């Protein structure tokens, strides 16, 4: 098949959409498909590099890494129309979605669209009123998704959300995959100790870790506040926050205000090739986000043999098995109860890590590629 993938985000290294697109492209190419990617350039110049078409764009300034382009009649888009893809898989609802629709009209190729983002969690970046913002999201989603043949979502949580918007298109639930191979390598005890010491962490300290983009929608401030109270129960705790984003400065100020800046460690952004090493510096993965459609970081943490302690959310169904590889919490009391349970049972922590690895194995990117290929064939038939 000739498959065109369109995405606004591709050059940003620490984004779930980018990870999903890269993994899908790799798997489809292994299957012998001719795959091309149409995305936005990170400059005002267009270019073509191997199988990727970059269309000139400019930053919007509303949200980090979001760019816009109005070059719908660009020569690179004409080249893709002449290439005549069999199917178009759009990954974003904004600027490259317009490109996907134009190419589909000109070639007759059907559009499969993956709905990656729970936009209701992001409307505060754009409009002041929450109710008005949610109305915009519902209305815009209905309007845009009428233009596609099939919608792919990573979890039932997102399917239920779209059905609540009265989306009538067929919806397929296909969890995004991760590169298990990357997360199956393990640091030696000596190197792990060395890397922890470089961050000011000793062997006898328990490290809570969160890894990902630092946005307000990730609710990391709740974790910092919970951590401050948890220190009274467990003085050996440290909190390792890996990543960067617009909320980083506010989180650092919060740690200072609470008097725990010496126990909360911010690494900043790390290379995607080093991500697995940072997971392994932690002892328990924690998250308070309810904005995830799937949350690849949960699966990555599990693949790195970590127990998980995360705020209740439907996207965690099948990833956290209560008491087996971690716990979900609904309130502050449950967070402290589960943290204490984990701390006082080291043997359970080891068993939970093994169970996490087993759960993560079903999210291999090969399975993801097989499932998406099946969606394409169904649409084309």
Q: Is the pTM of this model over 0.75?
A: yes
**Fold match between 2-177+364-380 and 180-363?**
yes
Give 178-214 pLDDT, tens digit per residue: 888 889 889 999 999 999 999 999 999 999 999 998 9
Q: Which residues contact 377 (CB under 8 A, 6 or more apart)?
A: none
**CA 129, 253, 264 angle in degrees (round to 5)?**
115
377 class by beta-carbon count within 10 Å (0-12 exposed, 13-18 middle, 19+ buried) = exposed
Cα atoms in the 13 Å half-sphere on the side-chain side of 316: 25
Per-residue confidence (pLDDT) for residue 99, from 0 to 100: 93
Residue 296: left if φ>0, alpha if ψ -120 to 50, beta else—which one? alpha
pLDDT at residue 190 in the model: 96
94-123 b/e with 16+ CB inside 10 Å = b?
bbbbbbbbebbeebebbbbbbbbbbbbbbb
Query: Torsion-angle region of residue 243: left (phi > 0), alpha (psi -120 to 50) or beta?
Result: left
285 within 8 A of 314, measured Cβ to Cβ: no
Query: In the chain, which stretches have pLDDT less than 50?
Result: none
**Domain ranges (residues) in the chain:** 2-177+364-380, 180-363
What the block records as the tokens of 259 is 């008097």
| 145 neighbors 152 (Cβ within 8 angstroms) | no
Give the separation between CA 225 and CA 236, rounded to whole angstroms: 16
Q: Identify each DSSP E strand in 237-282 by its residue range.
A: 237-242, 264-268
Closest alpha carbon to 258 in 228, 230, 214, 232: 228
Q: How far is CA 329 from CA 36, 189, 251, 342, 354, in A?
A: 42, 31, 22, 13, 21
- Check residue 307 and give its pLDDT: 97
Fold of the domain spanning 2-177+364-380: Rossmann fold (3.40.50)
Q: What sign does the CA torsion over 70, 44, 145, 162 have? A: negative
Strands annotated E in 235-304 = 237-242, 264-268, 284-287
Q: Are 298 and 285 in contact (CB under 8 A)?
A: yes
Q: What is the DSSP secondary structure assignment for residue 208, as one 8-state letter?
A: E
Q: Which helix (H) or strand (E) holds 229?
A: helix 220-233
Contact criterion met (CB below 8 Å) for 57 and 67? yes
- Classified by CATH at the fold level, domain 180-363 comes out as Rossmann fold (3.40.50)
């Amino acid at each position: 098949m000739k498959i065109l993938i369109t995405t606004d985000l591709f050059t940003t290294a620490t984004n779930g959409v980018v990870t999903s697109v890269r993994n899908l492209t790799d798997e489809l190419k292994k299957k012998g498909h001719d795959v091309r990617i149409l995305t936005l350039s990170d400059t005002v110049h267009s270019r073509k590099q191997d199988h990727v078409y970059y269309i000139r764009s400019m930053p919007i300034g509303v949200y980090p890494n979001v760019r816009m382009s109005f070059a719908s009649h660009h020569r690179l888009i004409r080249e893709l129309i002449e290439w005549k893809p069999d199917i178009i898989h759009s990954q974003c609802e904004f600027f490259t979605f317009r490109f996907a629709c134009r190419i589909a009209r000109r070639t007759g190729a059907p559009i499969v669209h993956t709905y990656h983002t729970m936009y209701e969690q992001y409307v505060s970046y754009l409009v002041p009123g929450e109710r008005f913002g949610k109305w915009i999201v519902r209305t815009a989603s209905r309007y845009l998704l009428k233009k596609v043949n099939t919608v792919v979502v990573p979890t039932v949580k997102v399917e239920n959300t779209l059905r609540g918007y009265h989306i009538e298109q067929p919806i397929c639930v296909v969890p995004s995959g991760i590169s298990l191979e990357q997360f199956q390598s393990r640091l030696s005890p000596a190197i792990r100790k060395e890397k922890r010491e470089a961050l000011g962490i000793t062997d006898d300290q328990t490290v809570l870790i969160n890894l990902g983009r630092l946005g307000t929608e990730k609710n990391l401030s709740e974790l910092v506040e919970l951590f401050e109270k948890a220190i009274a129960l467990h003085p050996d705790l440290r909190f390792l926050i890996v990543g960067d984003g617009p909320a980083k400065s506010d989180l650092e100020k919060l740690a200072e205000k609470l008097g725990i800046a010496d126990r909360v460690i911010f690494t900043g952004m790390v290379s995607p090739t080093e991500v697995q090493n940072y997971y392994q510096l932690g002892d328990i993965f924690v998250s308070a986000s309810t904005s995830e459609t799937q949350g690849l970081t949960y699966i990555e943490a599990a693949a790195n043999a970590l127990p998980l302690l995360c705020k209740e959310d439907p996207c965690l169904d099948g990833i956290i098995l209560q008491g087996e590889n971690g716990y979900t919490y609904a309130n502050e009391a449950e967070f402290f109860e589960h943290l204490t349970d984990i701390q006082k049972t080291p043997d359970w922590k080891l068993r939970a890590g093994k169970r996490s690895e087993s759960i993560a194995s079903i999210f291999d990117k090969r399975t993801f590629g097989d499932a998406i290929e099946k969606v394409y064939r169904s649409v084309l038939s």
